[in-house]
Amino acid sequence: MRITCPHCGERGNEEFAYLGDATVRRPDDAGAARPGAPEFERWMDYVYLRDNPAGRHRELWQHVHGCRAWLVVTRDISTHAIFSVEDARAAALARPSLVARDAAS
């Protein structure tokens, strides 16, 4: 598998480290200790539960032996075909709630 880093160009996947599911979102609330409460279930989902789709998925990778940037790689887990590679910071800032949070800080 070869990954085209948006900063460095195409490199072998041995230069990258897989860092997890890019689709999960940290809940905005502080959480709740009581199982069954919606906040509890949201945090349970965020911390522990992962989908394992046989197909297209968004993943975090880091170009750890290159520019060290965090990336969002959209690929087919069954075929290893890569559809897109984005800079993770840019992808995160493009999400509305994080833009608001960043602007407020």
- Per CB under 8 A, the segment of 8-16, 19-27, 46-54, 92-100 that binds another protein is 8-16
- Per CB under 8 A, the segment of 10-18, 41-49, 54-62, 72-80 that binds another protein is 10-18
CB atoms within 10 A of CB 3: 21
Nearer to Zn ion, 57 or 85 (CB): 85
Question: Shortest CA distance to 42 belongs to which of 53, 31, 52?
Answer: 31
Starting from the edge strand earliest in sequence, which strands make up the sheet with 56-62, in order? 17-21, 56-62, 70-76, 82-87
**Binding-site residue total for Zn ion (CB under 5 A)?**
6
List residues near another protein by CB under 8 A: 7-9, 11-12, 14-15, 65-69, 87, 89
